[in-house]
Structure 1
Amino acid sequence: MLLPKALERGDTIGIIAPASPPDRKRLEAAISFFTDLGLKVKLGKNINKVYGYLAGNDDERLDDFHQMVADDGIKAIVFACGGYGTARIASRLDYELIKQHSKIIWGYSDITYLHTAIRQKTGLVTFHGPMLSSDIADSDFDPLSAASFQQLFKPTILQYNETISNLEVLVEGKATGELVGGNLTLLISTLGTEFEIQTKGKVLLLEDIDEQPYRIDSMLNQLTLTGKLEEAAGVIIGPFTNAEPKKKPSLSLEIILRHYLENLSIPVLSGFKIGHCNPHFGVPLGVEATIDSQAKTLSIMPGVN
């Protein structure tokens, strides 16, 4: 495990778009959030590029990422938005460069692919949390979401309990392991590649958006058949936002989750506000976490030093 250095007021963060193009007006509106935290902001030189559904071609997006990593004046990289595209550049990332210039990396959704690849190739702890164009620019950006960024300024043990959201126990138990995972669709897309998500002995986070129940069923079935669920130490379920069937009849999301999860021999809790939701509780990935069904808590060790 490689912990990035904590931020200090006056530090500069880099903002890039490694997946889909951000809404420029929303991006600009969100920058003040970071300046209000006492941080300076530097935009990637290609952040305004558009190449179909991508924020520039692969070379441009890759170059922005490498430039931000190599620049020791940049203390953190925060992604503008998700969408699609990070898997296209994962095999071309300079992982030795990332390891040598370890710094805070923050985002979620399509960024799940980068989180997984970087952690498994370098050991670097990265952060699953709200982004600029897709979250911070919202007029109702929640104070809890905003408070998540405070963990970047000093080592902080995070405690998630029912004061944040109601949690449901699908399987009783207590377990400790490295916190991994993120967006279910992206985790499935790693299977069979050199970046295949490793879940053995780990606490696995699962969440998604705009996926119909049958699609979630299919993806959980694949995790089951590959043994990724059973070999985990525990599972935490975040939001499956807009998981509504376009055609009926359909199985409900609850029925699907219970079918695949409630017979596991590991603790499983659902209801976490971690992912495509508001508020969005930002968490470090790659650190030790403890899930406790009796207390209905998730405790997460610090992500910076």
Structure 2
Amino acid sequence: MIPELKPGDKIAITATARKITYPEIEMAISIFESWGLEVVLGQSIGASYNYFSGDDALRLQDLQQFLDDDSIKAIICARGGYGTTRIIDQIDFTHFRKYPKWVVGFSDVTALHSHIHNFGIESIHGVMPLLFPKAGAEDAIETLRRGLFGKELRYSAAPHAFNRTGIATGQLVGGNLSMLHTLTGTSSDISTEGKILFLEDLCEYLYHIDRMMVHLDRSGKLAKLAGLIVGDMSDMNDTPVPFGKTAYEIILEHSGKYNYPVCYGFPVGHEPLNLALICGREANLEVKEDSVNLVYC
């Protein structure tokens, strides 16, 4: 179990992917400090190498330093985009595996969540500093605070017409669908058997969603789930010849052959209400006709 944060603890903000500037995370820094935390910024904040927040060597050095520094109690990824997989195989997790700490982020950071999950270490899929100023993000930020400080996380969601009722118990794993697809066959790939998988994505073509769901199914990642949580599929794109189905309809087609409980429209992903989820922790998912409940065991 990772130690919960307490006032006076030191946390680090780093950028493992797309570049970001200090003004873009200034609000998040102020909020973290209001929680009684001391914030340390990595050299990747404000750095620029084409698309990235510094070249691979700088981003790797940044993350490695914070993984190895015992005074840092949590590592917050500043934003997503693309780039974490470029450095993940060069990271030495030896010290981190002995002395784990919270790693926080979502989207491209799914690569880190999955990699860490294979060590048996929990992490937090949650809102990142870039998105703190987004209108409506207040509740997401509060769930992140609760997760970091060891407070109870208990969620309810509205019913959806595509939901399949039932109760599932298992470790919660998942994140960005595109990243999970990308990680297949690598050292960051995860087993989903007996687990509750959650999915979200952004700005994908609908046929890409179908292709990735076909791949997840063919690779055995759907058949033996305990349950499935479908989050936000935001700003989907279509081709000139329409694909003919929404993202939810595509996921329904490929998961519908199995009998585990499934819920749609769960507030996780690239929307302001992006609830903090603890990856790798045992959870109980209850999907009823009139409600959805997710609690940690």
Q: TM-score range by the shorter chain?
A: over 0.9
Deviation track 1:25-58 (CA, whole Å, cap 9, x = no partner) reads: 2122331111111111100123222112211111
Deviation track 1:164-209 (CA, whole Å, cap 9, x = no partner) reads: x444453232110100000000000111112212101000001000
Query: In structure 2, which of residues 34, 40, 43 is the aligned counterpart of residue 42 of structure 1?
Result: 40
RMSD, aligned α-carbons: 1.7
Query: After superposition, where does 1:255-274 map in structure 2 within 5 Å?
Result: 255-274=249-268
**Higher mean displacement: 37-46 or 149-158:** 149-158
Aligned to 1:212: 205
Aligned to 1:173: 166
Query: In structure 1, which of residues 229, 232, 235 is the aligned counterpart of residue 228 of structure 2?
Result: 235
Query: In structure 1, which of residues 74, 92, 111 is the aligned counterpart of residue 90 of structure 2?
Result: 92
**Secondary structure, aligned partner of 1:292:** strand
Count matched residues: 295
Cα distance in 2 for partners of 1:108, 1:283 equals 10
Aligned to 1:66: 64
Query: What letter corresponds to residue 149 of structure 1 in structure 2?
Result: L
User: Is the Cα contact below 8 Å between 1:170 and 1:258 reproduced in 2?
Assistant: no
Query: What letter corresponds to residue 120 of structure 2 in structure 1?
Result: G
User: Is the Cα contact below 8 Å between 1:170 and 1:262 reproduced in 2?
Assistant: no
User: Is the Cα contact below 8 Å between 2:226 and 2:261 reproduced in 1?
Assistant: yes
Query: In structure 1, which of residues 153, 161, 176 is the aligned counterpart of residue 156 of structure 2?
Result: 161
Query: What letter corresponds to residue 265 of structure 1 in structure 2?
Result: N
**Higher mean displacement: 73-82 or 255-264:** 255-264
Cα distance in 1 for partners of 2:202, 2:32 equals 26
Structure 2: segments with no counterpart, 5+ residues: none
**Higher mean displacement: 146-155 or 30-39:** 146-155
**Higher mean displacement: 215-224 or 15-24:** 15-24
Alpha-carbon deviation of 1:299? 2.6
Higher relative contact order (CA 8 A, sep 6+): 1
**Secondary structure, aligned partner of 1:299:** strand
Query: What letter corresponds to residue 243 of structure 2 in structure 1?
Result: S
TM-score by length of 1: 0.91
Q: Are 2:270 and 1:276 aligned?
A: yes
**Secondary structure, aligned partner of 1:15:** strand
Cα distance in 1 for partners of 2:228, 2:27 equals 36
Query: After superposition, where does 1:80-119 map in structure 2 within 5 Å?
Result: 80-119=78-117
Deviation track 1:140-187 (CA, whole Å, cap 9, x = no partner) reads: 14321121123235433322213xx44445323211010000000000
Query: In structure 2, which of residues 123, 128, 133 is the aligned counterpart of residue 131 of structure 1?
Result: 128
Query: In structure 2, which of residues 139, 143, 153 is the aligned counterpart of residue 144 of structure 1?
Result: 139
User: Is the Cα contact below 8 Å between 1:169 and 1:293 reproduced in 2?
Assistant: no
Cα distance in 2 for partners of 1:76, 1:249 equals 44
**Secondary structure, aligned partner of 2:163:** strand
User: Is the Cα contact below 8 Å between 2:172 and 2:283 reproduced in 1?
Assistant: yes
Assess, with a 3 A threshold, how the Cα gap between structure 1 residues 88 and 151 changes in structure 2: closer, same or farther: same
**% identity of equivalent residues:** 34
Deviation track 1:57-84 (CA, whole Å, cap 9, x = no partner) reads: 1111111111111111111111110000
Query: What letter corresponds to residue 8 of structure 2 in structure 1?
Result: G
Query: What letter corresponds to residue 136 of structure 1 in structure 2?
Result: F
Query: In structure 1, which of residues 275, 278, 291 is the aligned counterpart of residue 285 of structure 2?
Result: 291
**Higher mean displacement: 43-52 or 232-241:** 43-52
Deviation track 1:62-114 (CA, whole Å, cap 9, x = no partner) reads: 11111111111111111110000111111111121211231111100000001
Deviation track 1:90-139 (CA, whole Å, cap 9, x = no partner) reads: 1111121211231111100000001000111x211000000011x1132x
Aligned to 1:247: 240
Cα distance in 2 for partners of 1:199, 1:224 equals 11
